[in-house]
């Protein structure tokens, strides 16, 4: 494990990293470690949390009259979350390396792998645009009259009115969320730490899910719960839940993804202990 806080370039003889298996309850340990990172770097973590909550509040204020826009963009926030948390991944990496917390460095962490991260962000953006179109079409199909206000929409949800729309909207959102989760669960931390390419990062993320279905189900449910708490509090709770998810995701990556093993060592059967 590195102690200088710098990302290591991939070896020309790089092979696919080992994917570790963890127990189903392991995500709770990731949250515990993430909370420790927050306590160790409170100001820097709070900065990102305030940004997340601020974006949500602005969204509500600007589009308070259009529930279709706010709900679509809120889901888009979740889809783009793996990239938006990149600074938090770097803060956790700094803490892991026992380096002084540097908010300024975390803000430009993407520069360590601009090609891989840039391509990944482009893919996430395309997914978001497809989701936005699908979401607006769903609203158009089921809301034949004027779009309801947020208050009316919440009343519909509470009374389970317009069940077809609710099922369609959340069903389509769930499909997009599952796809993004599968390809992004550890991909951005991997791109930041290993300077790999976007395709390899996506494959590493999918393999992490395939090898740890129980743990990944628990992790997905915890993320949904924490984000749901943020949304239910008009985004204000994201000041805490947003950074917590970001820091914990770094520890998920460190637990799930083993070191990059050069082909020569792999062929010789040399093994490395988990970090």
**Which pTM does this prediction carry?**
0.78
**DSSP character string of 140-194:** HHH--SSPPPHHHHHHHHHTT-SHHHHHHHHHHHHHHHHHHHHHHTTHHHHHHHH
Q: Which of 171, 243, 214, 234 shows the shortest CA–CA distance to 27? A: 214
- In tens digits, the chain (275 residues) has pLDDT values of 444 444 444 444 456 788 999 999 999 999 999 999 999 999 999 999 999 999 888 877 776 666 656 666 666 677 778 888 999 999 999 999 988 889 999 999 999 899 999 998 888 888 888 877 777 777 677 665 555 555 556 566 656 666 776 777 777 778 888 888 999 899 999 999 988 899 999 999 999 999 999 999 999 999 989 988 988 888 899 999 999 999 999 999 999 998 865 533 444 443 343 44
**Which pLDDT score, from 0 to 100, does residue 251 have?**
97
The secondary structure of residue 233, as a DSSP letter, is T
For 234: left if phi > 0, alpha if psi spans -120 to 50, otherwise beta; the answer is left
**Which pLDDT score, from 0 to 100, does residue 220 have?**
94
**Which pLDDT score, from 0 to 100, does residue 23 have?**
96
For helices 213-232 and 67-84, the axis angle rounded to 10 degrees is: 130
């Amino acid at each position: 494990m590195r102690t200088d806080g710098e990302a290591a370039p991939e070896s020309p003889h790089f092979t696919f990293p080992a994917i570790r298996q963890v127990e189903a309850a392991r995500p709770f340990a990731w949250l515990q470690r993430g909370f420790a990172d927050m306590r160790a770097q409170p100001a820097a973590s709070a900065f990102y949390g305030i940004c997340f909550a601020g974006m949500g509040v602005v969204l509500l204020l600007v589009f308070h009259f259009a529930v279709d826009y706010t709900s679509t963009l809120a889901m888009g926030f979740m889809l783009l979350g793996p990239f938006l948390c990149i600074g938090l991944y770097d803060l956790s990496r700094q803490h892991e390396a026992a380096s002084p917390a540097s908010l300024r460095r975390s803000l430009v962490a993407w520069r360590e792998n601009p090609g891989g991260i840039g391509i990944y962000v482009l893919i996430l953006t395309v997914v978001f645009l497809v989701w936005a179109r699908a979401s607006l079409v769903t609203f158009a199909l089921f809301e034949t009259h004027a779009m309801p206000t947020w208050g009316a929409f919440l009343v519909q949800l509470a009374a389970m009115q317009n069940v077809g729309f609710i099922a369609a909207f959340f069903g389509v959102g769930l499909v997009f969320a599952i796809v993004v989760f599968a390809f992004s669960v550890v991909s951005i931390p991997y791109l930041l730490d290993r300077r790999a390419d976007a395709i390899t990062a996506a494959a590493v993320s999918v393999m992490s899910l395939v090898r740890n279905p129980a743990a990944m189900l628990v992790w997905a449910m915890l993320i949904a719960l924490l984000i749901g708490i943020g949304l239910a509090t008009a985004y204000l709770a994201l000041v805490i839940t947003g950074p917590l998810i970001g820091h914990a995701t770094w520890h998920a990556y460190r637990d799930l993804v083993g070191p990059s093993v050069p082909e020569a060592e792999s062929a010789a059967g040399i093994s490395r202990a988990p970090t």
